[in-house]
Amino acid sequence: MWEARSASFWRAVFAEFFGTLFYVLFGLGASLRWVIGPINVLLVALAFGLVAATMVQCLGRVSGAHLNPAVTVAFLLGSQLSLFRAVFYVAAQLLGGVAGAAVLYGITPVALRGNLALNTMHPSLNVGQATIVEIFLTLQFVLCIFATYDERQNGRMGHMALAVGLSLTLGHLFGIYYTGAGMNPSSILCPCCHHPQLHQPLGKVYWVGPILGGVIGGSLYDFILVPRMRGVSERLSILKGEQQAEVSAPPEPPEEPVELTTEAL
């Protein structure tokens, strides 16, 4: 519990709340149907991608800018943060999602409240198909996050915020027509109040799918693609909060060749 005595820990928890609030406010705000007609998929996908990239840029150094319980659970299972921190992160994310949706509800005209283009499953899909879609959407997103957040990459994989934003945009471009591209349980919590469909067992698609996708994506990267050599005791120690997850030292860049010169006689 030593983390609770640290000011940086509470700043990180607040960052998760604050960042998720903005994520839900801007993402779902761009998903409102203001006019009758087909949804502008590109507009919605870019809105979610841009707000995610913005929050990663602003809050990445504070909390890691998870902004998503599926991401936090994936990092937890990879022993990259303690269980104590993960619980507070998820609580902050869910509260941030509710707060963001509440702000959106308050500033939106009455006639448009609850008129979201997202979080609706295509009627021709069954629960199993929808869950698989959500698994793959979140899997690629978490895989991208693990790769771009990996300190061992030494910045060689491109700009972190841009990569995360593009990955989220990709997920929405593919998934909106299938499931509304949930990908984040914190953005589903409050809209459930306005979507009777999400009160039914179908609503579990938007929780089970992203969590499973996050777990698979994180495990695939951390245990198979780029495994972290940690023993069981070390992983348990990190999960218990007895020690921080050690940051691997990035590889040293190759030294420039030294050119030997001789002075002219």
Asked if residue 130 belongs to a domain, the reply is yes
Q: Which residue has the tokens 């995360």?
A: 164
pTM: 0.85
Sign of CA dihedral 101, 102, 106, 112: positive
Q: Which residue has the tokens 């040293």?
A: 252
- Over range 147-151, report the average pLDDT: 88
Asked if residue 180 belongs to a domain, the reply is yes
CATH number of the domain where residue 84 is located = 1.20.1080.10
pLDDT one-digit tens code per residue, 173-206: 999 999 989 999 888 765 544 444 444 455 678 8
pLDDT one-digit tens code per residue, 19-70: 999 999 999 888 888 877 777 899 999 999 999 999 999 999 999 999 999 9
d(CA 103, CA 36): 24
Domain count, the chain: 1
Asked if residue 259 belongs to a domain, the reply is no
Asked if residue 113 belongs to a domain, the reply is yes
Q: Which residue has the tokens 């593009």?
A: 166
Asked if residue 183 belongs to a domain, the reply is yes
State which amino acid sits at residue 204. K
First CA to last CA across the chain, in angstroms?
Answer: 70
Neighbouring C-alpha atoms within 13 Å toward the C-beta of 244: 7
Instruction: Give the domain range for residue 216.
Output: 2-239
**DSSP track, 144-189:** HHHHHH-GGGTTTT--HHHHHHHHHHHHHHHHHHHH-----GGGTT
d(CA 50, CA 93): 18
Asked if residue 252 belongs to a domain, the reply is no
Q: Which residue has the tokens 């495990």?
A: 219
Asked if residue 251 belongs to a domain, the reply is no
Helix intervals (H) in 64-126 = 69-77, 83-107
Q: How confident is the model at residue 238 (pLDDT cuts 50, 70, 90)?
A: confident
Q: How confident is the model at residue 158 (pLDDT cuts 50, 70, 90)?
A: low
Asked if residue 204 belongs to a domain, the reply is yes
Q: How confident is the model at residue 262 (pLDDT cuts 50, 70, 90)?
A: very low
Q: Which residues pair with 32 in a beta bridge?
A: 116
